[in-house]
Amino acid sequence: MVGQNIGNSTVTKADIVEQVYEKIGFSKKEATELVELVFDSLKEILQNGEKIKISGFGNFIVRSKNERIGRNPQTGEQIKISARRVLTFRPSQVLKAMMNGEEYAHLKDDDHDDDHDDDRDE
C-alpha cells in the first residue's frame, strides 16, 4: 500500500553510526563524530537555502511557498497560511530503480536537474 513502511522498522542515526563503525572500522566515537558532521553540514546547507545533489541518491531542494488562503476542513472557514520554506526530496533514477528491484547499471548516475520550478505553490 502507498505510504506504508514496508520494512516495518526505522533506521535511526545511531543505526547509521553503527554501520559506519562496522564497515569502516572507525571507533564508535569517530563514527559518531563523522555522522554528526555530515548531518550538521547538510542541515546548514539547507538552512542557507541551497540545493543538495547527491549523485545516485537524489536531490534535496528548499522551495519558497508564498502566503496563500486555505480552508479549515472542519469548519470551512478561510484562513491565511503564511509564507514559508519547505524541503523536498527527489530520488534519483538509480535509487528509484534500486528500490523497485530493477536493473540500474544502465542508468546515468547523475540526476536530472530540477533548477526549473515545475512545482506549484500549494
Q: What residue spans define the domains of the chain?
A: 10-48, 50-113
- The secondary element (H helix, E strand) that includes residue 32 is helix 28-47
What pLDDT score does 13 carry? 95
**CA-to-CA distance for 88 and 118, rounded, in angstroms?**
13
**CA-to-CA distance for 59 and 86, rounded, in angstroms?**
14
Cell of 119: 512545482
- At 21 the three-state DSSP class reads helix
Q: Which CATH number is 50-113 given?
A: 4.10.520.10
Third-level CATH fold of 10-48: HU Protein; Chain A (4.10.520)
- Chain mean pLDDT for the chain: 86
**CB proximity list for 86: less than 8 A, separation 6 or greater:** 62, 63, 65
The reply to whether 50-113 shares the fold of 10-48 is yes
pTM over 0.75? The answer is no
| Confidence band for 29, pLDDT divided at 50, 70 and 90 | very high
